[in-house]
């Protein structure tokens, strides 16, 4: 047997170490991709079941089983170090300043919902005049979150938002309900008798229809948003113009309240959706939003709703939207109570999916149950 040469052995070890360094670097690069995925999905860093499978698989590759205890120890050390890197990356992401898209200009009800939901977070607002601008900013990753109105207690769902969420494949990760008190805002010496044109978002005008019935001389002009309407009136400095908007907008743009609480429903509230590019694991999630389509035949929707009923899934809202290019066929946006981690809920959702021509979960999030 040839005599061992320590220097030669060490040279061979150095070669293997170089290979090992490249392999470890490649593995940690993949680990950071996992961290990015977990961050998007709201998943925990540690997964003991997965770690056990990895160790078992790696040791199974060994030809010399005497090395199993040592390799087990090495793999656990590698994965512990990887978890430290993942946690550091997640902490870094959590500490950074969030970029949030807000529908409407400062002073809007959406602005109020954003401030309420993200209280205590470090964020920067970006304001947009169109729903589609907010949703595309989220979809293409330009911002972390978006805040948009999705439903009003007086006038129902905002159909354009439902269509855009489906089109751009965004997820609902939270919601905020804000009590809406609409006011007629004017500039300077304006009075009710000087106003001939009133700007507001179509929802703001619809919520105030009884007021306008009593003031037929006021022409209603649909506009981007209630807050943008207030901004425009302030810029025009014209006593014949007014806006339907909230008190915060009046304060922000220096307008006078000509008539308070002109919305006909005193319990008027708007639900705002917090949207993200990807689904998130939300602690305490108890509400699910799905979008689906069923066969264009008699009883198909009834049968689908039957699956919800027999699985004990409580439906709290349903909105229908026509399919583009298909007469009398519809998408249905449905809000349910439940958590997708609940086996019964998960089974029920899967059963509904099997009986639909189109199905997608838009989000599983925590309902805002506060009383305004």
The residues annotated with a catalytic role in the active site are 270, 272
Residue closest to 218 by CA, chosen among 243, 181, 255: 243
- Alpha-carbon separation of residue 207 from 270, 320, 321 (angstroms): 11, 21, 21
* Residue with tokens 């001389």, as numbered in its chain: 217
DSSP state of 111: H
Q: Please name the residues in contact with 43: beta carbons below 8 A apart, sequence gap of 6 or more.
A: 37, 281
Q: 13 is written with which tokens?
A: 């070890």
Token look-up 């189109």 returns 358
Q: Is the dihedral of CA 149, 150, 152, 156 positive or negative?
A: positive
Cβ atoms within 10 Å of 66's Cβ, excluding its own: 7
Q: How many CA atoms lie within 13 A of 125 on its CB side?
A: 20
d(CA 94, CA 39): 9
Strand partners, 320: 332
């Amino acid at each position: 047997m040839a005599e061992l040469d320590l220097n030669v052995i060490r040279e061979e070890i150095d070669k293997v170490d170089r290979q090992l360094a490249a392999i470890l670097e490649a593995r940690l690069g993949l680990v950071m991709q996992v961290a990015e995925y977990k961050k998007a999905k709201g998943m925990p860093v540690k997964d003991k079941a997965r770690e056990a499978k990895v160790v078992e698989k790696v040791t199974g590759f060994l030809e010399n089983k005497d090395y199993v205890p040592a390799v087990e120890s090495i793999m656990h050390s590698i994965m512990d170090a990887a978890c430290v890197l993942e946690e550091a990356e997640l902490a870094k992401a959590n500490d950074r300043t969030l970029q949030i898209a807000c529908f409407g200009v400062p002073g809007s009800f959406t602005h109020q919902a954003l401030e309420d939901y993200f209280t205590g977070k470090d964020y920067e607002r970006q304001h947009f005049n169109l729903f589609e601008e907010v949703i595309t900013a989220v979809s293409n990753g330009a911002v972390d979150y978006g805040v948009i109105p999705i439903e009003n207690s007086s006038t129902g769902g905002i159909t354009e938002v439902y269509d855009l969420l489906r089109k751009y494949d965004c997820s609902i990760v939270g919601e905020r309900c804000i009590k809406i008190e609409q006011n007629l805002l004017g500039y300077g010496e304006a009075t009710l008798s000087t106003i001939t044109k009133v700007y507001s978002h179509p929802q703001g005008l619809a919520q105030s229809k009884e007021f306008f019935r009593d003031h037929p001389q006021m022409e209603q002009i649909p506009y981007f948003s209630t807050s943008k309407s207030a901004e425009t009136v302030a810029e025009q400095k014209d006593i014949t113009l007014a806006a339907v908007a909230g008190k915060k907008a009046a304060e922000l743009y220096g307008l006078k309240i000509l008539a308070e609480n002109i919305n006909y429903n005193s319990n008027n509230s708007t639900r705002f959706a917090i949207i993200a590019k990807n689904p998130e694991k939300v602690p305490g999630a108890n509400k699910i939003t799905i979008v689906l389509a069923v066969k264009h035949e008699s009883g198909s929707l009834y049968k689908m709703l039957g699956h919800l009923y027999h699985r004990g899934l409580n439906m709290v809202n349903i909105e229908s939207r026509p399919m583009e290019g298909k007469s009398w066929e519809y998408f249905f946006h449905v809000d349910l109570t439940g958590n997708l981690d609940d086996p019964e809920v998960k089974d029920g959702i899967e059963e509904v999916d099997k009986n639909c021509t189109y199905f997608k979960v838009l989000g599983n999030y925590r309902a805002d149950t506060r009383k305004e």
